[in-house]
Structure 1
Amino acid sequence: MAEAEILELYELHYSDLKLLSSGSGTASSSTQEPERLETIKTSIMEALGPRGPGLLSVTGVPNASILRRNLLPLARKLSLLNADDRKRIFKEHNLGSDVPLKNPDRNVSSFAMLLRYEKGLESTQNNASSRVGGVTDSDQDHVDKTRYLPDYEYRNLGNTFKELGFCMLELGLCLAQICDRAIGGQELEQSLVESRTAKGRLIHYHSTIDNIVLKEAGRKRGSSKKLDNQRRDQEHCTRSEQVQTEHATMDTNCNEVGFHGTHSNLWQQWHYDYGVFTVLTDPLFILSSYLPENKGEDQYALSCDQECPSPSGHTYLQIFDPNKNRVRMVKSSPESFIIQVGESADILSKGKLHSTLHCVRRPTKLENLSRETFVVFLQPAWSKTFSISDYPSENCNLTGLCSGVPDAENHLAEQDSKLTEEIRKIIPPLSLRLKDGMTFAEFSRETTKQYYGGSGLQSNK
């Protein structure tokens, strides 16, 4: 595949987001201020509309930098933590996971929490604590007593998760208000207010070294089991070694062997988010080194890591731009937030917003690089009913083709054409997942089934 084109996102400053969502800028005594804000609103709709990429970034969010810096490094640490300690931390901070964490060959570890909010934006602002993840004087005794406990560094995990989550939730709600004013009505904001919940996910994208550490930790656990379990452990190690050999073969073959049926150079496969908005932090990258000579019991000692800037200067988030018939690599400012349009927003806006087909690509020749991010998914209430009777007929979402993917009559370069055909094979068309009068709950179940169910296009086979 040809090198992806870089997409530099339209940047919306937090102060302008707040002004536009509240409508207070139009009452300014300055004649230039309403004109400036109108220009910004037009740029927002161009970025999120049918001719845009379907995403933008928000900069200058108060307190976001320290929250992001405190939370994101914990994604990798939780991923490599032993199961017993992780289970205790999950219980203490009300976290769960939606991926099989026992699988040492997993590409991604995800730690999730449901974020509940009341009506309107006021509750999201009230949910933000003044602590921003730091240690106060009242914590000092606790700090002194727990400094050497294995979960000391997770002491503020739940609070920081919620603080950053509600901060990002506010961004999505404000953007929904702006889009509603541009489109007419209150469909987007109302659908989110009625939901009263959003899902937060702290995500670690594994490096190859991370998987080696997990396998090594598994072997150590196996060696300590009783004699009547030894044969089972040996079989497990043999299976792990076979998988590792298969992965080595895959790497030798220049990533030609597919993951879920397509390129193995993806951390996350091509897909659409089916909610209203997805809000993401600019990712954090960690370089790790494997130290096999260390025989200590602490599995963290198997590797050392340090934060680093993106090796390429972009996020490794890729989108497929149907307007240019090209894959584009997303670039955003450090510590900004990316807001991406989901299929529900596309449907509710009658096609005035454009859902984004995307994936996360692995960097080439950097097997020791991992990627950390935090994501909040804003969705309608489960009972929200979709009407598609007045959906634009020219929108390819409902023609039986893949949402957003250009049809075969377009003359693409050969490499891009091949990628388009591969994407077609793994993206279930929206027309087969959505029916008029379907609730969001029904739509989400059908979408999950067609992506990942037993006969889904991206199921493990």
Structure 2
Amino acid sequence: LGILSVKDVPGYSALRQSLLCLAPRLASLPEEVKRELEDAHSRYNFGWSHGKEKLESGKLDMLKGSYYANPLQDVPTSNSSEIQRYPWYCGSNIWPKNSLPELEGAFKALGKLMFDVGLMVAYHCDQYVSKGIEQHEMQNLEKILVASRCHKGRLLYYFPAQDSTRQNNDSISSWCGWHTDHGSLTGLTRAIFSRDSVEVPCPDPASGLYIQTRSGQIVKVVFGEDEIAYQIGETTAILSRGYLCATPHCVRAPQGEEAHGLERSTFALFMQPDWDQKLTFPKEVAIHEKVALSNGVLTFGEYTEKLLNIYYDTKP
């Protein structure tokens, strides 16, 4: 299926609630404050980002805002050449210490917990892959993730749908287009829906996260608010030589009159290799035809750079 959920994680529900309820407050900060929280040099991969990333259509994504940070390390490296080469990973976190001081602690606490649980998932991925490929060809995902300084959290806020933005919402990918994550594992919280910053049930059961299975079947993902979901990214497919497959997914916006003014808040943790981790692209894994490979080998930082060139107009 490409996705699983983990339940009964001590402390998770409270940490999820604490962080997700901050997303509407963050998005409603004055524009001049949010501009101070942007980092163009990192291709908007630290701090606040809105309207910078391209959608499936090639248009800029105005439907959601994001806040990016490394929940494990505020300063992943002090090496100036690394910071210059890979600013989207080697830069430093930006926190709204004056305008929303509680964000930092809530972001780090939830991100750390989801990372720890994700390492257990990585261990079982390794056990599964070890049964399918030769030992000398296998790279240990758990060890790679433990050693990495590249992990990135993303607090997402989907702006309230207005009448003008709901006209084309029949598409299953109306809130977030079909894509695969380029990291190793992505941890996901179940989203919170709200109206005027007050939590409400989602009025449209057909809305939410959808994935595509290996057989091409489209499946709506359903998991509890006290569960953490994990899905597979492209780097895991590369490291496992295609034995594990990246999970295509999208998000469908709620429809109907009751969806007017509805907000959606969620959090994703992208567990990723270090920027200098070498990736050998096997012929069994066909992803991103636009990405030119030099002898079939790129570092994770180089791979990310090529993808950012596709999805973002600005360069550092």
> What range describes the TM-score normalised by the shorter chain of this pair?
0.7 to 0.9
Q: Give CA deviations for 1:93-151 in whole Å, capped at 9, x if unaligned.
A: xx7123348xx98211111112335xxxxxxxxxxxxxxxxxxxxxxxxxxxxxxxx95
Structure 1 residue 158 displacement after superposition: 0.8
Aligned residue runs from structure 1 range 48-67, under 5 A: 53-67=1-15
2: CA distance, partners of 1:430 / 1:312: 36
TM-score under structure 2 length normalisation:
0.74
Aligned partner of residue 280 in structure 2, secondary structure: coil
**Partner of 2:275 in structure 1?**
382
TM-score under structure 1 length normalisation:
0.52
Structure 1 residue 186 displacement after superposition: 5.2
Evaluate the alpha carbon distance shift between residue 67 and residue 434 of structure 1 in structure 2; reply closer, same or farther with a 3 A threshold: farther
2: CA distance, partners of 1:160 / 1:344: 28
Aligned partner of residue 279 in structure 1, secondary structure: strand
Structure 1 residue 376 displacement after superposition: 0.8
Aligned residue runs from structure 1 range 152-301, under 5 A: 154-184=100-130, 187-208=140-161, 248=164, 251=166, 254-255=168-169, 263=171, 266-286=174-194, 288=195
Sequence identity of aligned pairs in percent? 31
Unaligned runs of 5+ in 1: 1-52, 118-149, 210-246, 257-262, 289-303, 404-427, 455-461
1: CA distance, partners of 2:234 / 2:271: 11
Unaligned runs of 5+ in 2: 40-45, 53-59, 74-97, 131-137
Evaluate the alpha carbon distance shift between residue 98 and residue 435 of structure 1 in structure 2; reply closer, same or farther with a 3 A threshold: farther
**Partner of 1:319 in structure 2?**
211
- Which letter maps to 1:96? G
Aligned equivalent of 1:78, options 26, 35, 47: 26
2: CA distance, partners of 1:370 / 1:61: 26
Greater RCO, 1 or 2 (C-alpha within 8 Å, sep 6+)? 2
**Partner of 1:128 in structure 2?**
none
2: CA distance, partners of 1:112 / 1:318: 23
2: CA distance, partners of 1:71 / 1:342: 24
- Which letter maps to 1:79? A
Which protein shows a greater Rg? Answer: 1
Aligned partner of residue 117 in structure 2, secondary structure: helix
Aligned partner of residue 65 in structure 1, secondary structure: helix
RMSD of aligned Cα (Å): 3.1
- Which letter maps to 1:383? D
1: CA distance, partners of 2:296 / 2:151: 25
- Which letter maps to 2:193? F
Residue 255 of structure 2 corresponds to residue 307 of structure 1: no
Structure 1 residue 383 displacement after superposition: 1.1
Structure 1 residue 207 displacement after superposition: 1.2
Residue 243 of structure 2 corresponds to residue 352 of structure 1: yes
Residue 289 of structure 2 corresponds to residue 429 of structure 1: yes
Q: Give CA deviations for 1:391-427 in whole Å, capped at 9, x if unaligned.
A: 53xxxx43xxxx5xxxxxxxxxxxxxxxxxxxxxxxx
1: CA distance, partners of 2:5 / 2:204: 19
Aligned partner of residue 115 in structure 1, secondary structure: coil
**Partner of 2:261 in structure 1?**
368
**Partner of 1:241 in structure 2?**
none
Aligned partner of residue 270 in structure 2, secondary structure: strand
Evaluate the alpha carbon distance shift between residue 87 and residue 67 of structure 1 in structure 2; reply closer, same or farther with a 3 A threshold: farther
Aligned partner of residue 97 in structure 1, secondary structure: strand
2: CA distance, partners of 1:105 / 1:190: 35
**Partner of 2:304 in structure 1?**
444
